[in-house]
Chain A
């Protein structure tokens, strides 16, 4: 299974490499690809594949995977919840949302639920402050959050546990 994924990753990188304009300019995109395939994290075998396909040192991949906040070298849950903690969301009752979210999931920031379904993270501004407080689950954004509305949103994701 994991081997298979590595092969898929390799072929996708070969594909995006055709769009490379200058050396190195597709590395970040390749790391994004890896995260899509490996449930929001970059395991060693994926890092090795990227390093080989793009002809860069694995140390560099490690540095990137730890420098940028969207990447993780540690396994994360199937769904990644990113709650905005910047001031524009803070002043519109962000802290209440934070508390409620932690209560529902029974985890703190940086942790993953026991069933491996959710990882909760805080993030700096997501650029959707017009509808704050906001959070992002995977690629989807949720705005105008209220203490009442988050339960239902999380439930929706619990529903597709398979």
Chain B
């Protein structure tokens, strides 16, 4: 390491704010002043915090600067890099990047162990932090022993459904077929969720390593990463990581001199939310329209191209190498009784600090929103929070102190994809309901009638209410219709519509009622 290191985040959000050109400029100055032997300017993944500008870190001082012009950057270069004087004007309090006071003990980096610390495009940095050691260790074990470790850890799927991961691996291992597949679900379409992208961009080798471990465990020699078509930046980064891994012999034939061979291919999607459903994703990968398949048979027996297939979410995979290296007991130390480990949350909406943060399962919304998030933006007050994505529930501020995990749905808080959408008091419940239903209507694949027609009926109903032309019975109908749709739909998309709609209805019934009981003269004529 050189005397000084300057780290620029190059995740998509930072790139949007222009981090690349700041980094280039800094590099030029370092060269110009002949400081190349003293100062390293490198790229890293996400810091997990976004301000309106470009954020970078300076080591060994371990401080963060936020700048919004090259002039600002120049001041810091002249003062800090050249003269060693910290420029306090542009400093960002560490609590904003790291957790707030009192929460330091809680932030736990298992999934994000490398994100923001290493240059994701440099395989050597991953290897230097014990990268591919878990694969090396796994290849010395029996496949079923690896699976036992995952089972013992209590890891459950992070893609939304929460299925026990080890059990899924075991079922695929036991399926008898000479051909099997490993599939990584990186279709991340749940509104408000962008953790998978930041994991893939910040630490792509952790996913490659985990998929190889999975391939060895279940007996597959090929893996696919199915990634959202819009994630152009991530696709490039993972492709580079795969190429590098191949070059280092960590993918390909006879990995670490064993009999095990494994390859990974990336396939982009083309803009369809329902393809995130595992069976629809398999259809899509086979080059068909992404409509869900009937279950059973389950993918573990009859998946991609009819072969046994192990499909896991990006975040689920990212836990695997850590568990192999640190053991299942270490993993079980985090979380709650039925939900072990951590969760990567994405905090969005009307909150001061938006971004991602990894906390042990069982943290509360208060910790997330007021601890990491710094509270509601623009000095407004909190009206509601939607957890788990558009297919998640809405809660009022009275639920801020309930531990969030797979079980908290009994208290009305869904974990889902880990998205936490903060909504302030400027928003009307009816507008939120309309937007949510519009999403369903737009993303319905059209395969089954309740979802295809029902979501449209529901939208028309809400639209009528929002325009002051609804009747009292219409309000009740919000609840009954969404319940009917979810009871009779074919797949998880239609089936989940009751979560947002019924919770909105239950929490804001009065607000809806107000829209139909106020007498509006202009509407009397119309009815």
Contact = CB atoms under 8 A, between A and B. Distances in A.
Interface of A: 19, 21-29, 31-32, 56, 60, 63-64, 67-71, 85-88, 90-92, 123-132, 136, 139, 141-144
Given A28-B269, A64-B287, A86-B390, A139 B232 contact: yes
B181 to A, nearest CB: 9
Interface string B226-242: 00111110000000000
Contacts of A88: 191-192, 348-349, 419, 421
B220 interface: no
Contact of B423 (A29, A69, A91): A91
Contacts of B290: 67-68
A107 to B, nearest CB: 19
Contacts of B431: 90
A21 B223 CA distance: 10
B65 interface: no
A76 to B, nearest CB: 14
A144 B12 CA distance: 13
Interface in B11-27: 12-13, 16-17
B44 interface: no
Contacts of B228: 127
A87 B386 contact: yes
A19 B354 CA distance: 39
Tell me whether chain A's interface is mostly helix, strand or loop, or mixed: loop
B268 interface: yes
A128 B194 contact: yes
A92 B13 contact: no
A143 to B, nearest CB: 5
A47 to B, nearest CB: 14
Given A26-B287, A67-B290, A131 B272 contact: no
A87 B390 CA distance: 8
Given A63-B288, A125-B190, A127-B230, 4 more contacts: A70-B229, A70-B271, A124-B191, A124-B443
Interface of B: 12-13, 16-17, 50, 52, 188-194, 197, 222, 224, 228-232, 265, 267-273, 284-290, 305, 346, 348-350, 354-356, 386, 390, 419, 421-424, 427, 431-432, 435-436, 438-439, 442-443, 445
B51 to A, nearest CB: 10
B425 to A, nearest CB: 11
A128 B229 contact: no
A130 B50 contact: yes
Contacts of B50: 130-131
Contacts of A128: 12-13, 16, 194
A124 B442 contact: yes
A63 B356 CA distance: 37
A132 B346 CA distance: 13
Contacts of A86: 191-192, 390, 435, 439
Contacts of A142: 16
A124 B286 contact: no
Contacts of A25: 224, 265, 267, 285-287
For the complex of A and B, the 5 pairs showing the least CB-CB separation, nearest first, are A24-B287, A27-B287, A68-B270, A70-B271, A125-B191
Contacts of A144: 16-17, 52
Contacts of A29: 267-268
A88 to B, nearest CB: 4
Contact of B12 (A27, A68, A92, A141): A141
A56 B439 CA distance: 32
Nearest to A71: B270
A130 B355 contact: yes
B192 A28 contact: no
Contacts of A24: 286-288
A20 to B, nearest CB: 9
A26 B286 CA distance: 8
Contacts of B445: 67
B441 to A, nearest CB: 11
A92 B424 CA distance: 10
A28 B270 contact: yes
A125 B112 CA distance: 23
A99 to B, nearest CB: 14
Interface centre among A22, A60, A125, A130 (most CB of B within 10 A): A130
A32 B229 contact: yes
B421 A87 contact: yes
B287 A92 contact: no
25 contacts: A21-B224, A23-B287, A25-B265, A25-B285, A28-B268, A28-B270, A63-B288, A64-B287, A67-B289, A71-B270, A86-B390, A88-B348, A123-B271, A124-B191, A125-B191, A125-B193, A126-B230, A129-B346, A130-B194, A130-B348, A130-B354, A131-B17, A131-B50, A143-B16, A144-B52
Contacts of B386: 87
A28 B354 contact: no
B355 to A, nearest CB: 5
A87 B436 contact: yes
A92 B350 contact: yes
A134 to B, nearest CB: 8
Contact of B231 (A26, A56, A92, A127): A127
Nearest to B290: A67
Contacts of A92: 349-350
A131 B229 contact: no
A21 B287 CA distance: 12
Contacts of B192: 86-88, 125, 129
Given A25-B267, A91-B424, A136-B230, A124 B287 contact: no
